[in-house]
Structure 1
Amino acid sequence: MTTNIRIPRRTLLKGIGAAGLGSVLAPLSSRPLYAASVAPITIVINQSPWFDSFRRTVEAYEAETGNKVELDVNPFAGSLEKQRNSVRASQGQYDILIMNSGWFTEMYGGGFVDSITDIDPGFQLDPDLYTLNDTIYYNAEKKSLTSDGKLMSIPVSPLIPMLYYRGDLYKEAGLEVPKTFDALEANAKKLHNPPSMYGIVQRGARGPATVSYDFYPYLYGFGGNIFRNQSEGDFTVTLNSEEGRTALDYYIRLAKEAGHPKTAANDQANVIQAMVTGTAGHVMMVISAASQMDDPDKSAVVDKVEYAVPPSAPGLPTAPALGHWLAGISRNVPDDRKRAAVEFLRWFQTKAAQLETAKAGGIPVNAAVYKEPIAEERQYRWMKPLAEALPHAVNSYQFPQASEVIAVLELGLNRAVAGEIGSVEALNGMAGEIEKIMAGYNYRTGQISPL
């Protein structure tokens, strides 16, 4: 059921306490007050672990500027459906679209969002803002996500998977933080003591972007990829390479030998639950769940979870996949609402605003925040490893039909993890289906030799 949440002006970040309020207000007062009277805007957004921090940041914006924002909050798939319906209407219902990495190119390529600098030629990107593989830009002529294109969006949440591990158990067992997949596997087996403790808990369920997203760091970390070179327009399918097989065999072996017995049914909520209840030694999931680890109302492992960059094969860099969210401005809304949306994004991208996001439990999109004293505090211990990993993040899809490819991966990977088919059959089958999709849209594509 869709929830419409109206965010009224209220005391800034209500509930964080007088001391916290003072620390937040200090940087706000040094920032210029943005347009005091712009049109109200509506933002369509998904319900997620990072939503509350976004909501609280919006509250801060309203309190500072007097501008009004309405949030239309939906499940993951519901948010996409609402966005697609709105941008195709004669007049859009939503001014700002919070777009996931799996569908923002659909919005760019379809002409459904306006360039921010077309709306306001004077708009300047904060120099410390993460551009996340330049996914905030789009070159319509080249159909590429490159910085020579127009500025189409501002990052909202720079999500990538990170390795969560039980620091207390590592200390007891004398383990070192794993940098390679071999080390991760050895550590997971060392901690594996089912049913009270699983060495690692992984996602394997089929969903909008579930098992595929959790598989990407393994695929890329072993040197594999879905396509040969998207940036150069070469969509030859390489998923079923030797590197791809190594990655999938490894993912399945972890589940069987050091993982949860029902990995094929695990969704994100199951993975988070396993970690906060103290039954997982490791998980690899988006960093937005970190705030739950130290929440005494949710977690039995407060102050026991540590964070590290995702491992990789020897000689290869860490390669977490972007699962980020971007904010774009709908093309089919009135000009006054477009201008109001620009004002919000102008404010949102700043270091001061992003410090508030961090204090509210969110993940900052401004690199300057990661250099602030806050990064040294125990509760923000995820910030340094995240800052180390973000420059290596991989954007999985650079074309509008990504959701069709993801659907193929979701089914094939789920069946492989469940043991319904072997890894070779799964990879060859998915590769064939993906090639058909790309050929159907006249991309330059093909396949490597089957395994």
Structure 2
Amino acid sequence: MTSTTRIPRRNVLKGVGMAAAASLVPGAFRPLYAASVAPITIVINQSPWFESFRKTVEVYEAETGNKVELDVNPFAGSLEKQRNSVRASAGQYDILIMNSGWFAEMYAGGFVEAITDIDPGFQLDPEVYTLGDTIYYDAADKTMTKAGKLMSMPVSPLIPMLYYRGDLYEEAGLSAPKTFAELEANAKKFHNPPGMYGIVQRGARGPHTVAYDFYPYLYGFGGGIFKDQSTGDYSVTLNSDQGREALDYYVRLAKEAGHPKTAASDQAEVIQAMVTGHTAHIMMVIAAWSQMDDPNKSAIVDKVEWAPTPSVEGFPTSPGLGHWLAGISKNVPDDRKRAAVEFLRWFQTKAAQLETAKAGGIPVHAAVYKEPIADERRYRWMKPLAEALPHAVNIYQFPEASEVISVLELGLNRAVAGEITTVDALNGMSDEIEKIMAGHAYKTGKLDPLK
């Protein structure tokens, strides 16, 4: 049974009176949106950024008087509940918080109703990140493009960033690495196991684990999984020369400057290595930023800096999107759909996103990254993130992505563990992915095997 935490619709929010009074003060939040709409239920995952979302929802309730219930679940449990709800005759959840690994499934299956179909007058704030245009979908062409309809609202624009020990860099007279060659040299410089590892990487197999952490390397070396998803060409290019360079580098970095148990390291172990002061670098989703300065969790408070993930000369930083989007379920009553639109209309504003940032979340509004808050020491991750976000890569644009991810998880884990060579891993994964895509009648093909 899935563990669920609920915030009741009728929960009396602490400080509601103060918030309501503040709404009368110039410059404070004002209840500009519908103040009398149906209560809504949002199904969401428990994650490092959840608390900031919860606090933002509380501000919405205080400002508008509207009620929101949060159904909180583990990652896999959230997906299971969403799939069950959208296939029922009447949906249980009004807003679906969808991960980058499954939102295409919800779009293509017709389970999410376009925001502008519910409210033709809805306008997306022009400074909201479209995150590889993944908030749009053209059902006729099965592509994610602005030519399609507005299907969702960004909730958390998560991408991996390079976390590095700024104090060690300052002592050594180094600058943040921009290339993989610089990262490798710096990681080896600081590598002094078992007390200090040059870098700790994720190598464990999971629902979307080692594959997600490998994407910045794969795309940063100029490689990719498919030839051109935007045009529907799913020819598999994973086992290209660039793909081989990327995986060789990932494995070499783990062996020569990394943790001896990289193949067993998941996100928790990677974060733990950094906050306990046992690594000089990690490449981790930005949602973990607050743990670095939490005195209850971290031995390195104020010592971590952030930078865009490195790349090779001639290619930009290429972090893979691991973002979350909010879509409105198609099989719920119209009054709840309209209420969901009102929440999203409010959520996208600069003011709401500034509240998200103050609560420890990752804003989806570009203007927030230019606010004075971004100059505060506590939020020193914001400017590097703003630099990296325009280069984020949408890895998957098709609903069967989970099948491909499973192939990558096994193959990459085995390569990191040394069970198979990088060449065998890449060739094997490419063969399996090509079969998956052909089985679903996509235009596909594959490269000649690496030797």
Matched residue SS, 1:111: coil
Would you say how many aligned residue pairs link Structure 1 and Structure 2? Answer: 447
| Aligned match of 2:233 | 234
Residue pairs, 1:31-70, within 5 angstroms? 31-70=30-69
- Checking the alignment, whether the CA contact within 8 Å between 2:23 and 2:63 is kept in structure 1 is no
- Checking the alignment, whether the CA contact within 8 Å between 1:28 and 1:352 is kept in structure 2 is no
Post-superposition CA distance 1:132-169 (Å, at most 9, x none): 11100000011000001000000000000000000001
Q: CA RMSD in A?
A: 1.8
| Aligned match of 2:6 | 5
Matched residue SS, 2:244: helix
Alpha-carbon distance, 1:298 to partner: 1.1
- Checking the alignment, whether the CA contact within 8 Å between 2:39 and 2:67 is kept in structure 1 is yes
> Alpha carbons of 1:27 and 1:320: their partners in 2 closer, same or farther (altered >3 Å)?
farther
Alpha-carbon distance, 1:343 to partner: 0.6
Alpha-carbon distance, 1:23 to partner: 9.5
Q: Distance in 2 between matches of 1:210 and 1:314?
A: 27
One-letter amino acid matched to 1:368: A
Q: Distance in 1 between matches of 2:434 and 2:50?
A: 36
> Alpha carbons of 1:398 and 1:53: their partners in 2 closer, same or farther (altered >3 Å)?
same
> Alpha carbons of 1:31 and 1:148: their partners in 2 closer, same or farther (altered >3 Å)?
farther
Q: Distance in 2 between matches of 1:329 and 1:55?
A: 18
Q: Distance in 2 between matches of 1:207 and 1:105?
A: 20
- Checking the alignment, whether the CA contact within 8 Å between 1:214 and 1:284 is kept in structure 2 is yes
> Alpha carbons of 1:120 and 1:134: their partners in 2 closer, same or farther (altered >3 Å)?
same
Residue pairs, 1:213-228, within 5 angstroms? 213-228=212-227
| Aligned match of 2:153 | 154
| Aligned match of 1:248 | 247
Alpha-carbon distance, 1:54 to partner: 0.5
| Aligned match of 1:183 | 182
One-letter amino acid matched to 1:95: D
| Aligned match of 1:264 | 263
Alignment TM-score, normalising by the size of structure 1: 0.96
Q: Distance in 2 between matches of 1:26 and 1:382?
A: 30
Unpaired stretches in structure 2, ≥5 consecutive residues:
none
Alpha-carbon distance, 1:27 to partner: 7.4
Q: Distance in 2 between matches of 1:26 and 1:202?
A: 48
| Aligned match of 1:167 | 166
Q: Distance in 2 between matches of 1:274 and 1:23?
A: 42
- Checking the alignment, whether the CA contact within 8 Å between 1:9 and 1:66 is kept in structure 2 is no
- Checking the alignment, whether the CA contact within 8 Å between 2:311 and 2:318 is kept in structure 1 is yes
- Checking the alignment, whether the CA contact within 8 Å between 1:203 and 1:211 is kept in structure 2 is yes
Alpha-carbon distance, 1:21 to partner: 12
Alpha-carbon distance, 1:300 to partner: 0.8
| Aligned match of 2:286 | 287
Which moves more between the two structures, 168-177 or 185-194? 168-177
> Runs of at least 4 residues of structure 1 off by over 2 A?
11-14, 20-33
Alpha-carbon distance, 1:11 to partner: 3.0
Matched residue SS, 1:29: coil
Alpha-carbon distance, 1:29 to partner: 3.3
| Aligned match of 2:206 | 207
| 1:75 partnered with 2:70 | no
| Aligned match of 1:105 | 104
- Checking the alignment, whether the CA contact within 8 Å between 1:47 and 1:74 is kept in structure 2 is yes
Q: Distance in 2 between matches of 1:11 and 1:393?
A: 38
- Checking the alignment, whether the CA contact within 8 Å between 2:320 and 2:394 is kept in structure 1 is yes
- Checking the alignment, whether the CA contact within 8 Å between 2:20 and 2:62 is kept in structure 1 is no
Of all paired residues, the percent bearing the same amino acid is 78
One-letter amino acid matched to 1:115: A
Post-superposition CA distance 1:99-139 (Å, at most 9, x none): 00111010000000000010111111111100011100000
| Aligned match of 2:359 | 360
Post-superposition CA distance 1:175-204 (Å, at most 9, x none): 221010000001011111111111111111
- Checking the alignment, whether the CA contact within 8 Å between 1:129 and 1:349 is kept in structure 2 is yes
One-letter amino acid matched to 1:428: N
- Checking the alignment, whether the CA contact within 8 Å between 2:98 and 2:326 is kept in structure 1 is yes
Post-superposition CA distance 1:47-79 (Å, at most 9, x none): 111011001101111111111111111111111
Q: Distance in 1 between matches of 2:101 and 2:7?
A: 27
Matched residue SS, 2:169: helix
| Aligned match of 2:439 | 440
Alpha-carbon distance, 1:13 to partner: 9.2
> Alpha carbons of 1:29 and 1:250: their partners in 2 closer, same or farther (altered >3 Å)?
same
